[in-house]
Amino acid sequence: MKELYADFLRILKKEVTPALGCTVTSIAYAAAEAASAVGGTPKKVHIYMDRHTGTKGSDVGIPNTSLTGMEILAALGAIAGDAEAKLNVLHNVTPEDEAAARQFVLDGNVEIEIDLETRILGLFMDCTVETDKGVGRSVIVKTHTNLVRKEANGKVLVDIPYDRIGSMDETHDPMASYTVGEFYAFSTEIPVEELYFLREAVTMNKELAESIFTGEAVGAGFAISMMNRSRGDLIKKAKAMTAAGSEARMAGLSKPAMSCATSGNVGITASLPLISLAEDLGSSEENLLRALAMSFLMTICVKNRIGRVSSMCACVVAASQGIAAGAVMLFGGDLDAVNRAINTTVINVFGVVCDGARLACAMKLASAAGTAIECAQIAMDGYQTPPGQGVCGDDADDTLNFMGTFAQQGMKDSDLELCKALYAKRQKRIEEGRFF
């Protein structure tokens, strides 16, 4: 059991990390790695990428700028990116850098090529940056900062063998074999001192959300509207806090989010509803940290099943299961209640698609929070979706495995068509000169 708990701690510390800006900043990271291989002044950037990265990130605000778009991300990464900072790659961007990158794009120096022909799901980027000192190249696979190849003028600097299709298969990852019961046992039994590193998730994501209510960040108004109508309702408040965290991030506020499974919005969804709920319930810090550990592990587990880059919205489909399980723990429930809550939550969120990162994600995140907490309450009352009905299995593990298989196999074609439609929409904007 000690080895299992040590593995869970390792997974949490690897997967729950700070990230500045939406994870489409991985485009900037790829460009920064390629540029840093040779140094010098960038002249041209070319990136070949998977359809998800290439079609679902154009509307996200970019930290330290007033702009949006993949082209500007690529230009900023090449011109001012800090590759060593990983997903914080744009932390040093200045107004001068923004102006230079904007002109770089308008001069036609960035080319984005998107794979819209294959049914392959999963992150992939092959980036080359030409500078006055030569040509650098970087290849990113599976996760947003997983650098597998780096070249400088043809000389190989990093060479980790990879198979683009095989690397997306997470069924052989340790997380694929773990169960809800094992996550629950870990979260309730591990010495709480081992979970103190999760305190940073509380402070970081709460600060991000509060920036909307203080006016430091300007979103779409969803969270403010929700909070104004919450009036002591713990579910409405949790939804408002979750929406606020997402709005601040999608607007491009230059503050990091505590991400989960390489997604800031997923980290926000898996944590802020529980942080809000714990405040309203008067929960101890220990109970909150244990609930967060359960939530993050459950979220990582579901992302493993539906795919790291998925046709389904991970914030809704994966993080909602974490919220449901964590909320049950805050309510004082046991493992049976956790199973009931997950089975009922899945019925509400099954098949919700990812149509890209943007301000409106806040609404999806809020819906996930509200649904999950309500399903936890229903579970605490002893009720659930009857096992075996519809997509529900005999227990939560069966249900999640079913959903994962359907997400990765059953939704490939519909996801491809969605990406093609989003691409056509984006190309029309570019033809009209609206890059940003």
pLDDT digits (tens, 9 = 90+) for 394-418: 999 999 999 999 998 899 889 889 9
User: Do 288 and 328 fall within a single domain?
Assistant: yes
Pairing outcome for strands 256-258 and 18-20: antiparallel
User: Do 86 and 205 fall within a single domain?
Assistant: no
Residue 12: is its pLDDT beyond 70? yes
User: Do 252 and 303 fall within a single domain?
Assistant: yes
Q: Which residues contact 427 (CB under 8 A, 6 or more apart)?
A: none
- Assigned domain for 434 exists: no
- Paired with 142 in beta bridges are 123
Domain boundary among 168, 183, 204: 168
> Which of 74, 69, 67, 47 lies closest to 57 in space, CA to CA?
69
- Give me the residue label for tokens 């505590």: 258
Count how many domains the chain has. Answer: 2
Q: pTM for this structure?
A: 0.89
CATH number, domain containing residue 39: 3.30.1330
User: Do 148 and 204 fall within a single domain?
Assistant: no
- Assigned domain for 381 exists: yes
| Residue 89 lies in domain | 21-168
Compute the distance between CA of residue 395 and CA of residue 415 in angstroms, rounded to an integer: 28
- Assigned domain for 436 exists: no
| φ, ψ for residue 259, nearest 5 deg | -80, 165
Residue 213: is its pLDDT beyond 70? yes
pLDDT digits (tens, 9 = 90+) for 62-119: 888 888 889 999 999 999 999 999 888 999 999 999 999 999 999 999 999 999 987 7
DSSP 354: P
pLDDT digits (tens, 9 = 90+) for 371-387: 999 999 999 999 999 99
Q: With bands split at pLDDT 50, 70 and 90, how would you rate the model's confidence at 309? A: confident
Average pLDDT of every residue of the chain: 93
Amino acid at site 283: S
- Assigned domain for 247 exists: yes
> Which of 16, 63, 11, 10 lies closest to 204 in space, CA to CA?
16
CATH number, domain containing residue 203: 1.10.4100.10
**Cβ-contact 430, 110 below 8 angstroms:** no
Q: For position 171, what pLDDT does the model report?
A: 64
- Assigned domain for 233 exists: yes
Looking at per-residue confidence, does 197 or 412 come out higher? 197
User: Do 131 and 61 fall within a single domain?
Assistant: yes
Q: Strand, helix or coil at 201?
A: helix
